[in-house]
Amino acid sequence: MKVQLIVLKTGEQLIGEYQSQVDEFGNEGIMIKKPAILVPAGDKGIGIAPWMPYSKAQNGVFIKHDCIGLMVDPVDELSTHYTTSFVNGLVVPSNQLETPKLQLTE
């Protein structure tokens, strides 16, 4: 799979590994694995955050071609940051909070 910068017609800028696909209804589009969204950070910076973090989109989300404005190769630094953070190294915490068992002593 190839990492691409994807601009949706809504203006959202996504980054992710994609593969061309046809859905069960015959719609042509792309399947994005582990999608992330670019967000402004500071004056001239950008950050990367999970896209739709409360969904099962991390397993992949299908986007029809008519929803996509354009797709381009990201600069190497952005592609490397995405791959390091989301593909190879992102650790998603579990829903359970574990607390250590404490014992009071005198």
CA count, 13 A, side-chain hemisphere, 91: 1
- Evaluated on CA atoms 80, 43, 73, 36, the torsion sign reads positive
Q: How far apart (Å, rounded) are the C-alpha atoms in residues 84 and 88? A: 5
> What does the pLDDT look like over 49-83, one tens digit per residue?
988 888 876 678 999 999 999 999 999 999 988 98
pLDDT at 101 over 90: no
Residue 24, judged by CB atoms within 10 A of its CB (0-12, 13-18, 19+), counts as exposed
Report the DSSP beta bridge partners of residue 28. Answer: 22
Residue bearing the bigger pLDDT, 40 or 92: 40
